[in-house]
Every structure is written in structure tokens, then in C-alpha cells.
Amino acid sequence: MRSEKDTCLLCAQNPACSRESHIIPDSMVKRLRKSRGKVWKVDASRRDKRALIEQDVSKERYILCDDCETYIGFLETHFGQAIKKFVEQNRIGDDFFPLQQIQEVGDNITKVQTAFVCFKAQPLMTQLLIDSILFRIHIASKSTFAYTTFTSEIVKQLRINLLTFKSKAYNEVLDKCKTYNGSNVFFTPYMLYCPMTEIVTSGEIMYEFIEPTPDFLKILAGEYWIWIPNRPIQSAFLNSGKTLVKVLRLTVQQYEKMYKEMRELYDRIDAYNDGVRD
Ligand SMILES: [Zn+2]
């Protein structure tokens, strides 16, 4: 159990604060929460009990300091202004425009996938938010993510990435990202999916989940789905701190399929826990 005596896990300098840190950004969840979904949690600290069903995403105290919380808040603000706003308003224009991947078979050309370019998003600042989510998943101790940790090399690199740009003001972080030409940052590749229309459901829904697959680490963060490839891949829609940020559209059918697969995996984990209890 962490307490006020502990040190911030990110900067490893300041005392950890009592503010509740979200493991995944609350802004990524907000639109979904309106549909009154519930969070299904496989809680590592309650292994002997049934999985929890809660209304809110995971939060923890005494993991970060005030300064690091504020800094991560800047990354979340940037995401909100440069990506989320456009996704939710579906405002096609110079700052948010569709890119289509097509497949040609004989005379047939079919649209395979649509991604939206978020022109206002600063690529590196957006990547830092993804890095911060990975870091927070690593340090989470009592949520769905408590089962997941990364190797010490990965964690070291995530901390380097994040601490390189840590500043006391939003514009300082943005300027450092825009002008970065150093070599100590790793450009984390990721795919970013989101339904463009609001998913409305009166039933249960998942806000947070993690699914390691052979090809990708798939993180469900609210209504966003973040895929980190396990090996180098070629895709026009792959993001990193060096490329324009693209959000792939999840159709309602794709969303439902994803949700069903995660529920099945969740049920298997729950059944496994039941077995352990017997
Ligand atoms: Zn700190």
C-alpha cells in the first residue's frame, strides 16, 4: 500500500501526492460514461473475490507528485483539444480530414479502412500521452492493469521520454516537443482507434482493458483503442512522435466485435479465478 511517505514513481524526486491519479485519462472515457456503462474490473488485489463492477475508471493515490500530475494533465489537455474535440464533433475540414485505404482486386476497388488525420495534434506531444498511459499501466497496482508490467528497459525508456519534456507550463511542453532534435527519445509506434459516432448502450460496457496478442498489445482506454505493435510493421495508419496523428474509425460493428472478444476474454479470466478459488 502506497502512502504519503512514498516518492513519485515518474520523477523519483518529489513526494507522491494524495491527488487521485487516473490510470487512463478521464477525458477518454467521458463520452462513453454518458451511456451509463459499467466498468468490468479484474482486480488483482481482490483475487479471491468476484470481479468488481464499478461506475468509474481506476484511480490511485500516492503514485505521482503534484508536478508530474500537472504535466500529464497538459498532455491530456492537448489530446482533448487536438484530437478528441474533432473526433466527437466529426468536423471534417483542414484540421481533420479522412484518409482512405483502398484495396484493388481486378476491377474492384473497395475501401478497406478510413483514418482521420488530426492536423492540429503535435505528434510528439500526442505520443507522450500514449507513453504516459503505458507508464501508468505499469505502475497501477489495483485495477484491470495491475496484471501488466513491462520490462525495466521499457519503463526506463518511458520515463526518459516523459521526463525529457516535463515543464511547468503547457506551452513549454509544446515548444520542447516541436523543437526536439535529440536522440534519447524512443518514438513509440501505435495505432489509435475510436468510434466516430457515439456508442449508446443501456447495458454494460467496458471502459478499460488490456489484451496482449501475438502482434499487438491492445489497450482499451475509454472509447479509444490503442494498439502497440510487438514488432515493426508497415501501415500508413501507424503513428509515432514523428508522423501526423491518425485516428482509425471503428465502426459500430467493429466496436461490438471488439467488445464481445474482450468480454469473452474477461469471462475466461473470471472462470479461471473461480477455478483458483475452488
Ligand atoms: Zn514526479
Predicted confidence (pLDDT) per residue in 120-134, tens digit: 999 999 999 999 999
Alpha carbon of 171 to ligand 1 centroid (Å): 19
Tell me how long the chain is: 278
Alpha carbon of 69 to ligand 1 centroid (Å): 7
Output the CA–CA distances (angstroms, integers) from residue 101 to 87, 105, 227, 254, in the order listed. Answer: 19, 13, 18, 17
Alpha carbon of 49 to ligand 1 centroid (Å): 33
Least confident of 11-20, 59-68, 250-259, 266-275: 266-275
User: Cα-flanking dihedrals φ and ψ of residue 89, to 5°?
Assistant: -90, -10
Percent of the chain at pLDDT exceeding 70:
87
The Cβ-side half-sphere exposure at 32, using a 13 Å CA radius, reads 28
Instruction: Name which residue leads in pLDDT, 88 or 34.
Output: 88
Q: Region 129-143: what's the mean pLDDT?
A: 92
Alpha carbon of 63 to ligand 1 centroid (Å): 9
pLDDT beyond 60 at 267: yes
pTM comes to 0.90
Q: Region 195-202: what's the mean pLDDT?
A: 74
At residue 47 the predicted structure's pLDDT band, cuts being 50, 70 and 90, is: very low
Alpha carbon of 205 to ligand 1 centroid (Å): 33
171: left (phi over 0), alpha (psi -120 to 50) or beta: alpha
Alpha carbon of 17 to ligand 1 centroid (Å): 9
pLDDT value of position 264: 83
pLDDT beyond 70 at 41: no
Alpha carbon of 64 to ligand 1 centroid (Å): 5
Alpha carbon of 11 to ligand 1 centroid (Å): 4
pLDDT value of position 259: 81
Q: Region 50-62: what's the mean pLDDT?
A: 71
Contact (CB, 8 A) for 173 and 163:
no
For 6-68, list the strands marked E by DSSP: 21-22, 39-41, 52-54, 59-60
Alpha carbon of 136 to ligand 1 centroid (Å): 12
Contact (CB, 8 A) for 17 and 73:
no
pLDDT tens for each residue of 23-40: 999 889 888 776 655 555
102 - beta bridge partners? 111
Alpha carbon of 22 to ligand 1 centroid (Å): 15
Distance between CA atoms of 138 and 88, rounded to whole angstroms? 29
Contact (CB, 8 A) for 57 and 223:
no
Alpha carbon of 258 to ligand 1 centroid (Å): 35
Alpha carbon of 7 to ligand 1 centroid (Å): 8
Name the nearest CA neighbour of 191 among 118, 240, 121: 240
Q: Region 84-93: what's the mean pLDDT?
A: 90
Q: Taking each helix axis from N to C terminus, what angle separates 123-139 and 66-79, rounded to the nearest 10 degrees?
A: 130
Distance between CA atoms of 11 and 73, rounded to whole angstroms? 15
Distance between CA atoms of 8 and 40, rounded to whole angstroms? 28
Alpha carbon of 93 to ligand 1 centroid (Å): 38
Alpha carbon of 188 to ligand 1 centroid (Å): 22
Alpha carbon of 217 to ligand 1 centroid (Å): 26
